[in-house]
Amino acid sequence: MSQSKLLLLFDVDGVVTDEHARVDTGTVERIIDFMVGGARVGFITGRSRTWLEAQLVPLLEAIEEDTPEAVLAAEMGAVRFVEGEWLVSAEHAVVGPARSQLRSLADQPKYSAWLEWDSTKEATATFEALHDPATHGHAERARNALAELMEDVRPLATRHGYRAALSTYALDVLAPSLSKAVGAEFAIDALRAPGEPRQTVVFGDSTGDLEMAVTARSMLKVPVTFVWLGQGAPPALPDASDGIALVTASEPHAPGTRGYLATL
């Protein structure tokens, strides 16, 4: 199939990064090859725009001048890059006392070596795993700390009318209206012209990323492949999953993304 008929949607953490959240240059270069070949590309991440601008955008600037830009949706789509500027959706923001109460939970001494409050977030309230690649097992212990913190965060979030979601490197508190479906809708609307794609491939490493595949199938009515890049077994496809194929990459994280792209 011609690359111009492909629409590719990527989560970022655990998909174009390694297990320590470092963006893999080789994987991004491979994605750029597809963009140059005509594929339409969107990145939908829970990360902030500040992180994207520091870690991913400089690599994407290597694309040729006449190549369409990738669509960027930060904080699951609550923060979007539109016509040269970032826009924040108040509809999807965590605000008020809930935000300050949540932030105080990150100050507990038992978490100081494993996680921190992400002060760059503008819509979600996020606890971020700290990364220490030089220390064996640090990434796993940081993920365990996030899971433990979830026990305190969930009831507080619920009390204020929000929800908590645990991903590979972060614990997010979100407005009920916000999910990866929001970012996927934005990206697909921006990428579907000119002409409908014939195939969509979604790359993810968490259950929440499946929402991008479901959204793509609903909006485009074309075959969708969901490429699982997480640790362990992939999540089960939802009941309404006709037209969605689930594929497990040969390796987790960025190496698996790079390997799967080589098969397209």
> 2-36: per-residue pLDDT in tens?
788 899 999 999 999 988 889 999 999 999 999 99
* pLDDT for the residue 168: 81
Q: Does the pLDDT of residue 128 top 80, yes or no? A: yes
Q: Does the pLDDT of residue 45 top 90, yes or no? A: yes
CA distance 70 to 62: 12
> 206-260: per-residue pLDDT in tens?
999 999 999 999 999 899 999 999 988 999 998 767 899 999 999 999 999 999 9
* pLDDT for the residue 62: 83
CA distance 208 to 196: 25
Q: Do you find a cis peptide bond into 194, omega within 30 degrees of 0?
A: yes
> 57-68: per-residue pLDDT in tens?
999 998 877 888
* pLDDT for the residue 1: 56
CA angle 110, 14, 63 (to 5 degrees): 130
CA distance 169 to 166: 8
